[in-house]
Amino acid sequence: MVVLSIGIIYYYVVPENSIWVPKCPWWLITGTYCPSCGIQRFLHAILNGRFFDALCLNPFLLISLPYALLAVMGKWYNFNGVFDKLNRILYCRKVLLTYVALFFLWWIIRIVFNI
């Protein structure tokens, strides 16, 4: 129910123009983008069918969202061990370290190239 409510809000509310939508603290302090800057605008664009615009706002979500969705599915819906193999892959030390390395690499790229 909460996810549906958030989806409805972000469908109608444009994050750039809204005073109540939370702003990124990193951006407010430094004036540079953090790795997750653009998620709210990404969500608004996706919900309104503007997929290319969404991907331009934060391309790192191409990696992050599928990984996060699979991780949630593997943990929350693992009835009778259906997703045990998936969980072993997703929570493997090498996979987690690769994700963290990509996260920080994306952060550096965003700062250097102001993406």
- Cα–Cα distance for residue pair 13/18, rounded to 1 Å: 7
95 with 106, same domain: the answer is yes
- H helices of the chain, where? 2-12, 25-30, 39-47, 51-57, 61-76, 84-90, 93-113
Contacts of 81 (CB under 8 A, 6+ apart): none
Same domain, 49 and 92: no
Inside any domain, residue 32: no
Considering the domain architecture, whether residues 16 and 51 belong to the same structural domain is answered as yes
Tell me how far apart the alpha carbons of residues 42 and 19 are, in angstroms, rounded to a whole number: 17
Look at residues 43, 45, 23, 20 and name the one whose alpha carbon lies nearest to residue 33: 23
> How many domains does one find in the chain?
2
Please report which confidence band the pLDDT of residue 3 belongs to, taking 50, 70 and 90 as the band edges.
confident
Q: Has residue 92 been placed in a domain?
A: yes
DSSP 3-state of 80: helix
Token duo for residue 89: 């892959």
Question: Is 67 among the domain residues?
Answer: yes
Domain range holding 51? 1-27+37-57
Q: What pLDDT, on a 0 to 100 scale, did the predictor assign at position 92?
A: 95
Quick check: 62 pLDDT over 90?
Answer: no
Residue 8 tokens read as 């409805």
Please tell me whether residues 49 and 79 are part of one structural domain: no
Predicted local distance difference test score (pLDDT) of residue 1? 80
Does residue 78 fall inside a structural domain? yes
Provide the pLDDT for residue 115. 83
pLDDT at 18 over 90: no
Are 12 and 63 within one domain? no
